[in-house]
């Protein structure tokens, strides 16, 4: 605790800072069109991508008007056809005057009769107007009015909906999130067509003003958790947000832990399933990875494909992932402990074989394991950072060549190469990449304990690991639930995956109301023989 408090004091921001001077852009706009346009040019540094089009309006041409938008963010074709053409031609010969007509001012007439766009609103403050320009909206400024129309004509280039690259499936939807916020919310809306699916928008970042959306199902999500998510997000005070990883690190419950307490995915079907369980999704503009809270330990070993296959297949694959978790975590450390301290546990032929392999090796088993693990981590990182065409080839060829050369040179034993290879392959089985990284970090600590105290050290490390996992929380929900605390009815979708007719309730600690997913909880599985007999009786 003392070390943690010392770190907090070091990284805590100074609370005695002087208050900032009120920004020039936070003032309301003026009634003079020339002054407003000049102010926009001054605040944007007369940037070349800010397009300002001035022209007269009305039959007499006595109304000065300007259309302002950012090229590349606004849809230029829609601006020209739906807005500028309508303002310049369609109402050119109308009786509209500077004082309006029929008891309505010019802005009201334009908003009601001229601008043929779905989303149109009025704004007074310059800061909001500038934010609208840089968000892709178009401004309509009229001389003599201290208000402006904000027309939604966003149309920047995006990547489009493609297959996810990090979480692929054999059977299931092939759609993945994109870097556009509204596209991502629409992908979720397509799967959950319910009015209780609520979306709340936020702007985070004093400079970037990144759009962030909260999505949850009203009546299913726990209101206390929703309010906690709102509080943590509203508490963020930073100059810029570029990826959901910023949000994840700023709102997570525990900083000093290798385990992720917030789940992230790029699959809309996964987010929709989490929303139906009562979780909250956090969507950040500019990234295809959506955050889901609260996150549990078992959630990181579930894949969306588990629910598209039969229950027995999904259960088998899930058991395989948990087995790979223990192999990736304990593989090298168990080899080090047994070969160094507990040789009596090995059969005599195997012990003689291992001793013959290690006869010319000048390093102990711990040094061998560290060398091979570090080498493999370097190869894996090089394969990720290199161009895609050669990255995979470099990783495979490098591992084969270096492993074979190390064995022939007598630096490491062949058994150690096999152990490290199986460990590395097991780490790839985990569906969540951030959980696999956590296992890679903990693996080195357990190797040190195994080299120092043998199996006793591994046991102590596992006890400390379990205690740490049981102490974690994700937005108030125990990280190891439903294992600790033990909730019997929630075991149906953790290690095992029961058939759909058996998963009739939501997780107890996440959704504490509206917990029944089906109409009536079934007491037994469907019996096709009964249906056949009923059909025979009808015939």
pLDDT tens sequence across 299-324: 999 988 889 989 999 999 999 999 99
Q: What is the pLDDT of residue 469?
A: 94
* Of 493, 494, 496, 495, the residue nearest 505 (C-alpha): 493
Distance CA 477, CA 238 (A): 27
pLDDT at residue 390 is higher than 80 = no
For the chain, what percent of residues have pLDDT higher than 70? Answer: 85
The answer to whether the beta carbons of residues 107 and 145 sit under 8 Å apart is: yes
- Three-state secondary structure along 287-326? CCCEEEECCCHHHHHCCHHHHCCCHHHHHHHHHHHHHHHH
Residue from 81, 104, 93 nearest 57 by CA:
93
In the predicted structure, residue 460 carries a pLDDT above the cut 90: yes
The percentage of the chain sitting over the pLDDT mark of 90, rounded to a whole number, equals 30
Q: Hey, is 70 helix, strand or coil?
A: strand
Q: Which residue has the tokens 């125990």?
A: 478
pLDDT at res. 153: 84
What is the three-class DSSP state of 278? coil
Q: Would you state the pLDDT for residue 6?
A: 56
The pLDDT score that the predictor gives to residue 395 is 64
The model's pTM is 0.83
Q: Give the sign of the dihedral formed by CA 401, CA 403, CA 404, CA 407.
A: positive
156 versus 346: the higher-pLDDT residue is: 346
**Selection from 216, 158, 318 nearest residue 224 by Cα:** 216
Task: Looking at mean pLDDT, say which of 10-24, 86-100, 356-370, 373-387 comes out highest.
Answer: 356-370
Q: Which residue has the tokens 């959950």?
A: 192
CB atoms within 10 A of CB 395: 18
Q: Is residue 245's pLDDT more than 70? A: yes
Which of the residue ranges 57-66, 326-335, 513-522, 525-534 has the most confident prediction, judged by mean pLDDT?
326-335
pLDDT tier, 480 (very low <50, low <70, confident <90, very high otherwise) = very high
Mean pLDDT of all residues belonging to the chain: 83
Task: Decide if 286 contacts 203 (C-beta within 8 A).
Answer: no
Q: Mean of the pLDDT values across residues 365-371?
A: 89
- CA–CA separation, 199 vs 283, rounded Å? 10
Residues 132, 141: Cα–Cα separation, whole Å:
13
504 versus 226: the higher-pLDDT residue is 226
- Residue 331: the pLDDT is 92
Question: Can you give the pLDDT at residue 392?
Answer: 63
Q: Are 46 and 80 in contact (CB under 8 A)?
A: no
Which three-class secondary structure state does DSSP give residue 372? helix
Confidence at 474, pLDDT banded by 50, 70, 90: very high
pLDDT per residue as tens digits for the range 494-511? 888 888 888 878 887 787
Calpha distance 37→43 (Å, rounded): 10
* Radius of gyration of the chain measured on its C-alpha atoms: 31
């Amino acid at each position: 605790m003392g070390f943690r408090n010392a770190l907090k004091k070091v990284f805590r921001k100074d609370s005695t800072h002087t208050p900032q001077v009120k920004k020039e852009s936070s003032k309301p706009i003026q009634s003079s069109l020339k002054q407003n346009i000049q102010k926009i040019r001054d605040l944007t540094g007369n940037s070349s991508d800010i397009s300002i089009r001035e022209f007269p309006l009305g039959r007499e041409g006595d109304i000065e008007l300007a259309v302002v938008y950012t090229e590349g963010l606004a849809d230029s074709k829609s601006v020209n056809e739906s807005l500028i053409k309508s303002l310049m031609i369609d109402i050119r010969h109308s009786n509209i005057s500077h004082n309006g007509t029929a008891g309505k001012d010019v802005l009201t007439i334009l908003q009601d009769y001229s601008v043929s766009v779905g989303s149109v609103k009025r704004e007074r403050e310059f800061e909001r107007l500038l934010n609208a320009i840089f968000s892709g909206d178009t401004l309509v400024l009229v001389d003599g009015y201290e208000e402006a129309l904000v027309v939604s004509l966003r149309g920047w280039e995006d990547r489009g909906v493609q297959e996810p690259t990090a979480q692929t499936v054999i059977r299931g939807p092939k759609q993945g999130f994109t870097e556009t916020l509204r596209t991502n919310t629409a992908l979720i809306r397509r799967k959950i067509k319910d009015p209780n699916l609520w979306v709340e928008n936020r702007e985070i970042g004093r400079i970037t003003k990144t759009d962030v959306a909260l999505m949850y199902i009203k009546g299913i999500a726990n209101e206390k958790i929703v309010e906690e998510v709102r509080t943590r997000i509203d508490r963020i005070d930073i100059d810029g947000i570029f990826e959901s990883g910023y949000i994840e690190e700023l709102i997570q419950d525990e900083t000093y832990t290798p385990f992720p307490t917030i789940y992230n995915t790029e699959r809309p079907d996964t987010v929709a399933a989490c929303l139906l369980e009562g979780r909250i999704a956090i969507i950040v503009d500019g990234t295809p990875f959506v955050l889901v809270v609260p996150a549990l330990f078992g959630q990181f070993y579930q894949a969306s494909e588990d629910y598209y296959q039969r229950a027995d297949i999904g259960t088998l694959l899930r058991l395989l992932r948990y087995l790979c978790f223990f192999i990736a975590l304990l593989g090298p450390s168990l080899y080090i402990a047994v070969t160094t301290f507990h040789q009596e546990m090995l059969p005599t032929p195997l012990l003689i074989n291992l001793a013959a392999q290690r006869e010319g090796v000048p390093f102990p088993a711990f040094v061998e394991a560290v060398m091979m693990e570090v080498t493999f981590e370097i190869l894996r990182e090089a394969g990720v950072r290199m161009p895609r065409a050669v990255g995979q080839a470099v990783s495979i060829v490098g591992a084969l060549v270096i492993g074979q050369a190390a064995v022939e040179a007598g630096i490491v034993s062949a058994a150690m190469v096999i152990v490290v290879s199986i460990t590395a392959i097991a780490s790839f089985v985990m569906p969540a990449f951030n959980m696999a990284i956590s296992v890679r970090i903990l693996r080195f600590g357990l190797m040190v304990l195994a080299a120092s105290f043998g199996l006793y050290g591994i046991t102590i490390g596992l006890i400390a690991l379990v205690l740490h996992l049981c102490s974690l929380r994700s937005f108030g929900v125990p990280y190891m639930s439903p294992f600790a605390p033990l909730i019997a009815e929630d075991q149906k979708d953790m290690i095992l995956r029961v058939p759909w007719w058996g998963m009739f309730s939501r997780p107890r600690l996440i959704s504490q109301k509206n917990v029944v997913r089906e109409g009536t909880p079934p007491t037994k599985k469907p019996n096709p023989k009964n249906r056949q007999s009923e059909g025979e009786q009808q015939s």
